[in-house]
Amino acid sequence: MSGIRMPGAPAVPAGLARKGVIPAALLAALTSPLAYQTLERWEGNVLQVYRDNLAHGIPTFCAGRTDWSAKPGTRLTSDQCQEINKTTLLEYGYAVLGCVEWNYLSAKRLIGLTMFAINVGKAGACGSQAVQQINLGNLAAGCNLIARTPSGAPNWSSAGGQYVQGLQNRRQAERALCLEEA
């Protein structure tokens, strides 16, 4: 297909592989119906490459996949986006698995943190106070930090220096998933 590179299935990063065998329940969560539904709810599932104005015009397609080399206007099929979305979930889910202590993860917490990472970036999510608190075992505090600062102000809810209510709505949904145990 011209105009877009189809991403391949991501390999398990070496750092993650050193942590051991990923628990089956966590791996299954990354490609569960809930993960796909949540991804598409917040990112949409656009079958054409477009420039995302909230993200400095980066070409975006399917459920929020970005690629500077993708040609705007290129059309994709539902099947192509299904594969791309699976790759996105695994890639960002692996990043979360690499930076969060597994004994503090439930399937829904992993999905919530993966959605957070897809939106704010792997480094942003993994370096966040939210993940730091979760790794200390302060689960409620960590999950709450996805959406609110310690003072109660909206967290991770701005684009281009401007508050965006839609991002705060997303942060609240990610927080809710993070707080669910099962």
Residue 17 has pLDDT above 80, yes or no: no
- 91-102, pLDDT tens digit by residue? 999 999 999 999
pLDDT: which is higher, 136 or 10: 136
Phi, psi of 175 (to 5 degrees): -60, -45
Region 63-82 average pLDDT: 95
Residue 182 has pLDDT above 70, yes or no: no
| pLDDT value at residue 2 | 60
Region 131-159 average pLDDT: 97
Q: How far apart are CA 113 and CA 178, in angstroms?
A: 7
| pLDDT value at residue 31 | 93
Q: Which residues contact 63 (CB under 8 A, 6 or more apart)?
A: 39, 40, 43, 44, 45, 81, 84, 85, 88
Residue 126 has pLDDT above 90, yes or no: yes
Task: With both helix axes pointing from N to C terminus, report the angle between 139-147 and 107-120 in degrees, rounded to the nearest 10.
Answer: 30
| pLDDT value at residue 6 | 75
Task: Give the chain's radius of gyration (CA, Å).
Answer: 16
pLDDT: which is higher, 82 or 14: 82
Enter the tokens of residue 85: 């979305």
Residue 147 has pLDDT above 60, yes or no: yes
Mean pLDDT of the chain: 93
